[in-house]
């Protein structure tokens, strides 16, 4: 076993205040906290002292000890420790683009889905769950889905930086949810609201990739007093008919361009 002194004189935050404490010589250092309020160098009450344990990462077992040293003055000897807390340092926030590298202009993402779609390797079975949740966004102005795969180390963007699933031009994808729409024929399937096409489409996952299922679920012409149809803007998936599969949808609709305020509500779509 070896001992390592944590920190040095003057380290933040409120770390050692003295490196001449003779009573600590047997511990291998003379650094520590010392002082008295009546001599102007005390703590004047409780303080929080904090330090990064830089040399202890990856150790299987760690013992922390405090050494108390006195000197010949035998005056005001003592120390009080209230709480000790050891915690991990939060990782820096990561920022990921969801824009198609070949697109012009902003993507304007509308919805985010966190779901395990596989490892994104492109190999057979690469779209089967691998135990790590991935990111899927609907991008309104670029008319696509952006997928960022989890590398298993807490980062998104491996083995490919970003995968783009192109959708119809002018479709305005709004919301996305996951389910099992093909009877468990592979990995996780996706349902997407295409607002400006008045449709919900299904992307079926056979374990090797996502493929569009035809025909779409069409809401064109459903609006009262208007021929432009209703706009699907949100949806959720569940097992509403209790057949053991999450293959039923509830779709939120809004009025179209010429039927604003008419016919909005929820539609249940059973599979």
pTM beyond 0.85: the answer is: no
Q: What is the distance between the alpha carbons of residues 167 and 142, in angstroms, rounded to a whole number?
A: 9
Are 86 and 177 found together in one domain? no
Are 248 and 115 found together in one domain? yes
Q: In the prediction, which pLDDT does 228 show?
A: 57
Q: In the prediction, which pLDDT does 141 show?
A: 95
Paired strand residues for 213: 202
Are 146 and 236 found together in one domain? yes
Residue identified by tokens 């040399």 is 55
Q: Is 102 within the bounds of a domain?
A: no
Q: In the prediction, which pLDDT does 98 show?
A: 93
Q: Is 96 within the bounds of a domain?
A: no
Are 141 and 212 found together in one domain? yes
Q: Is 152 within the bounds of a domain?
A: yes
Are 140 and 246 found together in one domain? yes
Are 83 and 122 found together in one domain? no
Count how many domains the chain has: 2
Q: Is 24 within the bounds of a domain?
A: yes
| 88 alpha-carbon distance from chain centroid | 17
Q: What is the distance between the alpha carbons of residues 194 and 176, in angstroms, rounded to a whole number?
A: 9
Are 129 and 60 found together in one domain? no
Q: In the prediction, which pLDDT does 226 show?
A: 47
Q: What is the distance between the alpha carbons of residues 175 and 188, in angstroms, rounded to a whole number?
A: 16
Q: In the prediction, which pLDDT does 225 show?
A: 45
What are the C-alpha distances in Å from 56 to residues 5, 33, 43, 62, 93?
11, 22, 28, 8, 23
The rounded average pLDDT for each run of 10 residues, N- to C-terminus, in the chain (271 residues) is 85 89 84 79 81 79 85 68 82 86 91 94 89 96 96 83 93 96 89 94 94 88 56 93 90 65 64 70
Q: In the prediction, which pLDDT does 41 show?
A: 74
Are 58 and 118 found together in one domain? no
Q: Which residues contact 173 (CB under 8 A, 6 or more apart)?
A: 110, 111, 138, 139, 140, 143, 144, 145, 167, 192, 193, 194, 195
Q: In the prediction, which pLDDT does 106 show?
A: 92
What are the C-alpha distances in Å from 151 to residues 119, 138, 207, 262?
7, 21, 18, 46
Q: Is 119 within the bounds of a domain?
A: yes
Are 154 and 226 found together in one domain? yes
Q: In the prediction, which pLDDT does 91 show?
A: 72
Q: In the prediction, which pLDDT does 47 show?
A: 85
What are the C-alpha distances in Å from 253 to residues 139, 259, 269?
19, 12, 12
Are 83 and 113 found together in one domain? no
In contact, 146 and 98? CB cutoff 8 Å: yes
- What range defines the domain where residue 86 resides? 1-90
Q: Is 103 within the bounds of a domain?
A: no
Q: In the prediction, which pLDDT does 23 show?
A: 83
Instruction: Answer with the one of 23, 56, 90 that is the final residue of a domain.
Output: 90
Are 151 and 230 found together in one domain? yes
Q: Is 42 within the bounds of a domain?
A: yes
Q: Is 98 within the bounds of a domain?
A: no
Q: In the prediction, which pLDDT does 261 show?
A: 45
Are 263 and 137 found together in one domain? yes
């Amino acid at each position: 076993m070896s001992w390592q002194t944590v920190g040095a004189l003057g380290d933040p935050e409120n770390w050692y205040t003295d490196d001449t404490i003779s009573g600590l010589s047997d511990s291998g250092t003379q650094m520590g906290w010392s002082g008295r309020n009546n001599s102007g160098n005390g703590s004047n009450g409780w303080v929080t002292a904090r330090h990064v344990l830089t040399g202890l990462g990856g150790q299987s077992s760690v013992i922390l000890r405090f050494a108390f040293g006195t000197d010949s003055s035998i005056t005001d000897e003592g120390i009080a420790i209230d709480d000790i807390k050891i915690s991990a340092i939060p990782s820096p926030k990561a920022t990921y683009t969801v824009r198609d590298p070949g697109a012009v202009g902003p993507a304007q993402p509308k919805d985010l889905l966190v779901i395990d779609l596989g490892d994104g390797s492109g190999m057979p079975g690469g779209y089967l769950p691998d135990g790590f949740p991935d990111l899927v966004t609907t991008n309104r102005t670029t008319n696509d889905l952006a997928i960022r795969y989890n590398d298993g180390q807490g980062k998104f963007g491996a083995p490919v930086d970003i995968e783009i699933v192109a959708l119809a031009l002018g479709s305005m994808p709004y919301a996305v949810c996951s389910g099992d729409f093909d009877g468990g024929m592979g990995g996780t399937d996706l349902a997407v609201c295409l607002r400006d096409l008045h449709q919900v489409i299904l992307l079926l996952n056979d374990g090797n990739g996502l493929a569009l299922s035809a025909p779409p679920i069409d809401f064109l012409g459903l609006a009262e007093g208007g021929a432009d149809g209703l706009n699907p803007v949100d949806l959720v998936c569940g097992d509403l008919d209790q057949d053991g599969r999450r293959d039923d949808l509830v779709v939120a609709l809004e009025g179209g361009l010429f039927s604003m305020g008419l016919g909005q509500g929820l539609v249940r779509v059973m599979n």
